[in-house]
Amino acid sequence: MVAAVPQIKHEVKDLALANVGNQRIEWAGREMPVLKQIRERFAKEKPFAGIRLVACSHITTETANLAIALKSGGADALLIASNPLSTQDDVAACLVADYGIPVFAIKGEDNATYHRHVQIALDHKPNIIIDDGSDVVATLVKERQNQLSDIIGTTEETTTGIVRLHAMAKDGVLTFPAMNVNDAETKHFFDNRYGTGQSTLDGIFRATNVLLAGKTLVVAGYGWCGKGVAMRGKGLGANVIVTEINPVRAIEAAMDGFRVMPMIEAAKYGDVFVTLTGNKHVIRPEHFEVMKSGAMVCNSGHFDIEIDLESLGAKATEVREVRNFTQEYIMPNGKSIVVLGEGRLINLAAAEGHPSAVMDMSFANQALACEYLVKNKGKLEPKVHSIPEEIDQNIAVLKLKGMGIEIDTLTDDQIKYINSWTVGT
């Protein structure tokens, strides 16, 4: 039942989905003890009173828990989707109907709607922007110079967004501090590796129901995300091949027990391909050319540019939907290439994104980074800042507590030893 629909502006699929969304948000909250403690403190201390905040994020149950925590802290928060395919419509409905948080996000929205929502977010006149991929910040910098003075700062969730922020800083157009949430240890060690590792395969399974055991899985990019997918793929019995352009990462992959080779070679062997590089056209026509018929390709990097679908589409004689999120491209010679999730983040397009337990730490970083920006308003340089170590450590301590794990502490003798150069071996 949808109670009195709030008078707030919103664009969601169907407010009648709110009840389902509510149940799922609460379920996710059970695995998010760190964010829960932060939310309870925010509710008392109201660090965001008078602050207008925009969050551009995947609209999932975990993001909902973050948004609720920020609102509890007094923020006037508005949400938009950071990807046209990642919105969970029931979650969006619940945030509007039950929490009075304006959300502009519908699963499957077209690119024009996505960009219109970015403009709506900026119309909210934010003081703080939580971004995921840096589209809101890039649009602000390009098109809304008059709003730059309202900005206290931004927090960025993902590797690709951080790359863009560094490019803005280099070009001298970043006029406010940007907190690098992605590089917090309690974020990328867990979210990028274990979160992407599990949820990417989950997306592939939900889209295809393929058996990975005995198949050749090609993982492009052996960064934090690629490591997670390769590790979990191996665990499920896949024969994993890694492709890289960074020699150190390539050695790491080889020593972790994976075959490493250029994509043009790997393309011949792969049954399932996943790109996680943050780079463009990692799989392109010359690779499609040598792939086996029926090879499945997908992407779990931030933007849908890693697979050159335009070229594939231009060459295909037919494209047909064979399952949800699964399209088969038929080539002139009759061979087929199967594309999952339209080349967008497969874990969010076909599955539910990362499990809540890892997002607990990522979003604890987001919440505390926003608070840090407000507390240090006007004092931080306009550049990309690391998350302070105390915040990172504090999140790790809270997470361990939530997991019921205790660890050792240093003895006085050990503290003396590791701080001294005169005490020898």
Ligand X SMILES: NC(=O)c1ccc[n+]([C@@H]2O[C@H](COP(=O)([O-])OP(=O)(O)OC[C@H]3O[C@@H](n4cnc5c(N)ncnc54)[C@H](O)[C@@H]3O)[C@@H](O)[C@H]2O)c1
Q: Which stretch binds ligand X (CB under 6 A): 26-34, 59-67, 223-231, 372-380?
A: 223-231
Name the minimum Å distance from CB 9 to ligand X.
29
Exposure on the CB side of residue 289, measured as CA atoms within 13 A: 8
Return d(Cα 51, Cα 45) in angstroms, integer.
14
- Strands 318-323 and 259-260, sheet pairing: unpaired
| Nearer to ligand X among residue 99 and residue 258 (C-beta) | 258
| Residue 83 sits in the site that holds ligand X (CB under 6 A) | no
Task: Answer whether 200's CB lies under 8 Å from 419's CB.
Answer: no
331 CB-contact burial (10 Å; exposed 0-12 / middle 13-18 / buried 19+): middle
Residues 6+ apart with CB under 8 A from 83: 58, 133, 344, 345, 348, 349
Name the minimum Å distance from CB 319 to ligand X.
24
| Residue 220 sits in the site that holds ligand X (CB under 6 A) | yes
| Nearer to ligand X among residue 97 and residue 165 (C-beta) | 165
Count of residues that bind ligand X according to CB under 6 A: 28
Name the minimum Å distance from CB 75 to ligand X.
24
Exposure on the CB side of residue 181, measured as CA atoms within 13 A: 31
Coil, strand or helix: which one is 133? coil
Return d(Cα 4, Cα 26) in angstroms, integer.
21
Name the minimum Å distance from CB 357 to ligand X.
14
Instruction: Work out whether the CA dihedral 102, 105, 110, 115 comes out positive or negative.
Output: positive
Task: Answer whether 102's CB lies under 8 Å from 8's CB.
Answer: yes
| Nearer to ligand X among residue 94 and residue 225 (C-beta) | 225
| Nearer to ligand X among residue 22 and residue 366 (C-beta) | 366
| Residue 159 sits in the site that holds ligand X (CB under 6 A) | yes
Q: Which stretch binds ligand X (CB under 6 A): 77-85, 113-121, 205-213, 237-245?
A: 237-245
Rg (CA), the chain: 22
| Residue 88 sits in the site that holds ligand X (CB under 6 A) | no
Name the minimum Å distance from CB 271 to ligand X.
19
Q: Which stretch binds ligand X (CB under 6 A): 66-74, 221-229, 314-322, 397-405?
A: 221-229
Name the minimum Å distance from CB 56 to ligand X.
14
CA distances from 5 to 10, 69, 179, 277 (A): 11, 21, 35, 43
Instruction: Work out whether the CA dihedral 163, 166, 170, 171 comes out positive or negative.
Output: positive
- Both tokens assigned to 356: 């809540």
The single residue among 282, 337, 368, 398 that binds ligand X, judged by CB under 6 A, is 282
| Nearer to ligand X among residue 73 and residue 233 (C-beta) | 233
| Residue 158 sits in the site that holds ligand X (CB under 6 A) | yes
Site track for ligand X across 286-325, x = CB under 6 A: --------------xxx-----------------------
The single residue among 192, 239, 327, 356 that binds ligand X, judged by CB under 6 A, is 192
Facing residues of 404 across strands? none
Name the minimum Å distance from CB 263 to ligand X.
7
Residue 80 has a CB neighbour count (10 Å cut-off) of: 27
> What is the per-residue DSSP string for 256-286?
TT-EE--HHHHHHH-SEEEE-SS-S-SB-HH
| Residue 47 sits in the site that holds ligand X (CB under 6 A) | no
Q: Which stretch binds ligand X (CB under 6 A): 123-131, 165-173, 220-228, 403-411?
A: 220-228
The single residue among 196, 327, 336, 365 that binds ligand X, judged by CB under 6 A, is 196
Coil, strand or helix: which one is 70? helix
The single residue among 31, 244, 371, 392 that binds ligand X, judged by CB under 6 A, is 244
| Nearer to ligand X among residue 105 and residue 374 (C-beta) | 105
For the chain, the straight-line distance linking the first and the last C-alpha, in angstroms and rounded, comes to 70
Return the residues of window 330-369 that contact ligand X according to CB under 6 A: 345, 347
Task: Answer whether 50's CB lies under 8 Å from 75's CB.
Answer: no
Name the site residues for ligand X (rule: CB under 6 A). 158-160, 188, 192, 196, 220-226, 243-246, 249, 276-279, 282, 300-302, 345, 347
